[in-house]
């Protein structure tokens, strides 16, 4: 695998390749044909950011049959998707802030697709060529609001409600990855991306027939069964395949 992250040191923001815990600065455009320095950076004072800054975050709902069943909703014939605010993004290590702690708020572990090239009307067979890579994500959801409204954007777009990262894996097969979520060390969700109703390439193809996708855009591919509530003090960890885990606390 080849992991690329986005980092900050002082006022400088930069991309780097991550190899065995060391960072090698990227030279050039991360969405082009970048090269990397051969000398690792000093890690002192470096902060991990979300791996991309998308123009839009597209979430896909009910994309695992078991989650559709537990939600008491019919299995969709076409992908159900909506837009989340990019301001909801949260880096690895950041704290999920519950806007309405008295509401039911749920975790949702997801595999995220990171778009690498501008796309319009791409075929499923060609979709992989337009994908930069994949990373771990969560689609935190205020169920109280979600169940009271006919669209889901507000319930899922509060600041900090989309943890993402820590790195983009650029050389990975997305079709048979384990996906798990741990809450305070307890396994709550456990499945495989082989169970997706619409796989990553199909999602990119279908979504690109409706919306032009730009480099850095994020597609959240859906969550498996086992969704449950969170509260202040919880520690959440998403593990997908051999990728670096995404860890966030709740306050």
| Domains delineated in the chain | 3-48 (2.30.30), 57-250 (3.90.850.10)
- Tally the residues of the chain: 251
Backbone φ and ψ for 128, nearest 5 degrees, come out as -60, -30
User: Structure tokens of 179?
Assistant: 């996906």
User: What is the C-alpha separation between 19 and 22, in angstroms, rounded?
Assistant: 5
User: What is the C-alpha separation between 24 and 57, in angstroms, rounded?
Assistant: 28
User: What is the C-alpha separation between 7 and 75, in angstroms, rounded?
Assistant: 39
- Residues with Cβ within 8 Å of 20's Cβ and at least 6 positions away in sequence, in order, are none
pTM of the model: 0.97
Q: What is the pLDDT along the chain (251 residues), one digit of tens a residue?
A: 589 999 999 999 999 999 999 999 999 999 998 899 999 999 899 999 999 999 999 999 999 988 888 888 888 899 999 999 999 999 999 999 999 999 999 999 999 999 999 999 999 999 999 999 999 999 999 999 999 999 999 999 999 999 999 999 999 999 999 999 999 999 999 999 999 999 999 999 999 999 999 999 999 999 999 999 999 999 999 999 999 999 999 99
User: What is the C-alpha separation between 94 and 109, in angstroms, rounded?
Assistant: 16
89-90/162-169 β-pairing: parallel
User: What is the C-alpha separation between 24 and 42, in angstroms, rounded?
Assistant: 10
User: What is the C-alpha separation between 97 and 249, in angstroms, rounded?
Assistant: 9
**Number of neighbours of residue 117 by Cβ within 10 angstroms:** 14
């Amino acid at each position: 695998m080849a992991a690329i992250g986005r980092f900050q040191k002082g006022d400088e923001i930069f991309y780097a390749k991550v190899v065995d815990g060391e960072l090698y600065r990227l030279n050039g455009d991360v969405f082009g044909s970048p090269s990397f320095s051969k000398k690792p950076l000093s890690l002192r004072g470096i902060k991990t950011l979300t791996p991309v800054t998308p123009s839009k975050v597209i979430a896909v709902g009910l994309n695992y049959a078991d989650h559709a069943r537990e939600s008491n909703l019919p299995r969709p014939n076409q992908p159900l998707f909506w837009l989340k605010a990019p301001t909801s993004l949260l880096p690895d290590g950041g704290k999920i802030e519950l806007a309405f702690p008295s509401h039911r708020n749920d975790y949702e572990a997801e595999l995220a697709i990171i778009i690498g090239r501008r796309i319009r009307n791409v075929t499923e067979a060609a979709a992989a060529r337009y994908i930069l890579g994949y990373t771990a994500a969560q689609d935190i959801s205020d169920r109280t609001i979600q169940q009271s409204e006919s669209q889901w954007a507000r319930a899922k777009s509060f600041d900090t409600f989309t943890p993402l990262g820590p790195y983009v894996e650029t050389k990975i097969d997305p079709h048979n990855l384990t996906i798990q979520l741990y809450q305070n060390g307890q396994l709550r969700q456990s499945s495989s991306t082989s169970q997706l109703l619409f796989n990553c390439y199909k999602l990119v193809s279908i979504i690109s027939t409706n919306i032009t996708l730009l480099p850095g855009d994020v597609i959240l591919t859906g969550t498996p069964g086992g969704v449950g509530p969170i509260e202040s003090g919880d520690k959440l960890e998403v593990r997908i395949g051999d990728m670096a885990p995404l860890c966030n606390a709740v306050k």
